[in-house]
Structure 1
Amino acid sequence: MLNIAYVGFGKSTNRYHLPYLKLRQDKFHVSRVVTPTLGKRPAEQSELEATGTVFSTDIDDIIEDETIDLVVVVTPSASHYQVTKRLLLAGKNVMVDKPMAASDIEARDLVNIAYDKKLFLMPFQSRRFDSDFLTVQRVIQNGYLGRLVDLEVHMDHYRPNDGQLNGNEIDGSLFGHGVHLVDQIVSLFGAPNSATYDIRSTRLLNSPVDDQIEVNLFYPQAFKATIQTTELATIQYPKWQLRGTQGTFIKYEVDEQENDLKTGIMPGDARFGVDTPQNYGHLVYYNQSGDRIDKYIPSIQGDYGRVYDSVYNTLVKGMPKLVSDENMITVMKILSAGLKEKGPHVVKFS
C-alpha cells in the first residue's frame, strides 16, 4: 500500500481525486493533508481523520515524514512549479495537478531534478481517461478512418461574466483547458512539426488572461490537429471531429464524470460516467469492399481513477509512467510557444 500526502484540500482534491481513492483503499492510504485553512471542509476532513489522516498547515510536516510514498500537489496553478520543486529537492515522489509549470523551461527543470534524484514526477492528466477521448482513441486504433487528415477537439462553455481583469498567463484558457487537449493530442501522435496560434482575451479586452484559443498542430502526411476553447459558446459545437481518407467520426457530448461528480453521483455507482446511446459518436466510413457503413459507436466508460492505477503500477511494479518525461516537455513546449509572441503566429519545432 502507498501512503499519499496532499498539498491542498480544495474543490479539486475533493472532487477529482479523493472520490476515486475510495475504490482503491487496498492500494492507497491518505496519510497527510496540508492545507492553509483547517476546518474549511469539516465533513470531508472528519471523514479522513477517522481513517488516520493527519491534517496540518505546514508542508514541512510532509517533507519530514519518511513514510510518505507520494505527494499530490493540488494548489493554485501559479504555485505548482515552486511547490513541486521543493518537494522533489526534499526527495519526494510527486504527482502535480495540471499545468505542471508556467513554461517549458520550468517543466524541464522539474524533470531534470526528478531524473537526477531517481524520483517519480508526473502531471495529473486525468482527461486521458475521458470517455470521449478513450472512444476516439479506439476509433483511430481500429483504422475505420484510414489515414487521418483533420482532427478537431473543443472544450467550450458559456461563461460571459467570468473574465479576469488581472492575473497571470498560467491562469488563462491555454494553460487551463488547452493543457488537457494538447496532452490528449500528444499522447496520440507525439510532437508536431509546427503550430499556429490564435490566443485572445474576448470577454475583457484589456485582460492579460486569455479566454479563447485556437492551436493548429501540424504533423507529417498532411495531418493537422486543431484544439479550440471558448467561453462564449451558446450553441454547442462537436467535442470531436475526425476526418480521414476513408471516413468521418463526430461526437458532440463530453465525458459525464465531471457532471456526475457535481451532482453527487460518485465512482462506484452503476450510473457513474455512463454515456447514453443518444450521445454516442457518429461514424461513417467505407470498408474494404467499398460499402458505406453508417453507425454509432458506444462510448467507452471513463475513469479518472485510472491515473492512480498507473501511478501504483509505476511505483510498485516498475511499469512505465502514464505520461512520459518526453510527453511532459512536449506539451509544455507547445503551450509556452503560444504565449511567447502576441497575436496570431507560427512556430516551428525542432
Structure 2
Amino acid sequence: MMLVVAYIGFGNSVCRYHLPYVERRKDTVKVKYIYRREEDRQGDEERETWYPDITFTTDIEQVMNDPEVNLIVVNTPDAFHVSYTMQALEHGKNVLCEKPFALTAKEAQEVFAFAKEKGLVAMANQSHRFDADMRTVRKVIESGVLGEILEVESHYDYYRPSIADHKGFGILYGLAVHPIDQIIGQFGKPNKVVYDCRSFDHPGESDDYYDIDFFYDHMKAIVKTSYYVKLDYPRFIVHGRKGSFLMPALGHQSALANKPGPVEISFDPLPEDKWGTLSYIDEKGQDITKKVPTEIQDYGIIYDNLYDVIFNGQPKIVKDEEVIEVLKIIEKATKVAKEA
C-alpha cells in the first residue's frame, strides 16, 4: 500500500517542507501530481522540470477524479484551505492541509465533521512539532530528568525593524500558529489563557507582537514573538523542579540560499554550538550540567503517521480537538490585537 499524493499549490511550503522529506519515503509515499493554476505557472515553468517524475497539471478535475490518488495535500493561501479541503473530501480523498487548517474554529469543526461523515481523514499539517528544537525539548521533558515541569518559554524572536513598514493582521495566523500548536500538542488544552497581542508600530492595526500565557494546573507556558530583539535569545527555556533546559535558536530553514534545482535538506547531526544545555539534580543528589545533542528535524513524520492512520486505523498525531483549540486561541488573540 502507498500514499499516492497530489499537491494543491507549488509554493515555498511544498518545495521546502514537504518534497525533501517525502523523497526519503519512496517505499510508502508516491507524489503523482502537483496542481497549479495557469496564472501561477506563467513565467515559472522551469521549476517544474526539476521534478520529472511528477505530473504538473492545471486541471483540478484530473487530480480529484484520479482513483489512484488517496491523499490531497492543500498548500494554497490561507483563504482557500477550507474550500480545497472540502472539495477533496467530496471526491473521496483524504486531506493533509497546511496551517492554519481553517480561519475559524467553527470552520474547522465543520470540516472534521464532514470528513468523519465521509469516513475519510482530514488532518492539519502542524509539522513544526517535528522541528529539531521542539523534538529535542520534547525528548528532555519526557525523559523526566527535570521532574515536574513548572514553566516553559517559547520564543520566535527577530530583529527586523522593517516590520514598521508592515501594517495589517496575519502574523498570529502565519507564525504564532506554530508555537501555540507546539504547546497545545505537548501539554493539551490549558485551564486559562492570558493575551498580550499588539504592535509597537501600529497599535490596533497589526499583530506583530504577542506574549500569550497558558496556565495549567501546576505549570505555565509562554509563547512570545517580537521583531525588536537584537541579541540571540534561547528558542526554548524549560524549568522543572529538578532542573532547567535551554535550547538555542537554530535559525530557520527558509533562510537557505535559493539555487536552481530541488531544495536540499541536510539530515546530518548539528554541531555542538547548536545543542541544548541541561542542568539538573540527579537521583543521587549530584549536580549535573551537560550538553544535549539536537534531534534531527523531520517533517516527514507527519506522513508516517498519515500512512498509519489511513491504512492501519491508528490515531491522528495532530488531533482534531487540538486544531480547534489552537484556532480558538488565535481568533481571541487577533481580537485582542485589534483592540490594542
Match of 1:78?
A: 79
Match of 1:348?
A: none
The CA deviation at 1:286 is 1.1
Query: Structure 1 stretches (4+) deviating beyond 6 angstroms?
Result: none
1:42 is aligned to 2:45: yes
Q: Which moved more, 1:184-193 or 1:35-44?
A: 35-44
Flag the structure with higher helix content.
2
The CA deviation at 1:329 is 1.6
CA distance in 1, matches of 2:311, 2:74: 20
Match of 1:218?
A: 215
Q: Is the 8 A contact 2:136 2:294 kept in 1?
A: yes
Q: Which moved more, 1:60-69 or 1:96-105?
A: 60-69
Which amino acid is 1:178 matched to? A
Q: Is the 8 A contact 1:3 1:28 kept in 2?
A: yes
* 1:227 pairs with one of 223, 228, 246: 223
Which amino acid is 2:77 matched to? P
Question: What per-residue deviation string (whole Å, max 9, x for no partner) do you get for residues 25-69 of structure 1?
Answer: 222222222112225443431233x32x33222423322222211
The CA deviation at 1:132 is 0.9
CA distance in 1, matches of 2:42, 2:25: 25
How many residue pairs are counted as aligned between the two chains? 335
Q: Is the 8 A contact 2:193 2:212 kept in 1?
A: yes
Which amino acid is 1:231 matched to? Y
Which amino acid is 1:336 matched to? E
The CA deviation at 1:206 is 6.0
Q: Which moved more, 1:147-156 or 1:253-262?
A: 253-262
1:302 is aligned to 2:300: no
Match of 1:97?
A: 98
The CA deviation at 1:295 is 1.1
- CA root-mean-square deviation: 2.3
Which amino acid is 2:322 matched to? N
The CA deviation at 1:340 is 3.6
CA distance in 2, matches of 1:186, 1:134: 14
Match of 1:87?
A: 88
Secondary structure of 2:41's counterpart equals coil
State the TM-score, normalizing by the size of structure 1: 0.88
Q: CA 1:139–1:195 in 2, change beyond 3 Å: closer, same or farther?
A: same
CA distance in 1, matches of 2:185, 2:126: 10
State the TM-score, normalizing by the size of structure 2: 0.90
Q: CA 1:215–1:199 in 2, change beyond 3 Å: closer, same or farther?
A: same
* 1:188 pairs with one of 186, 189, 193: 186
CA distance in 2, matches of 1:18, 1:26: 14
- State the identity as a percent: 35
Q: Is the 8 A contact 1:132 1:255 kept in 2?
A: no
Match of 1:321?
A: 316
CA distance in 1, matches of 2:338, 2:215: 19
The CA deviation at 1:258 is 4.7
Which amino acid is 1:185 matched to? I
CA distance in 1, matches of 2:207, 2:82: 21
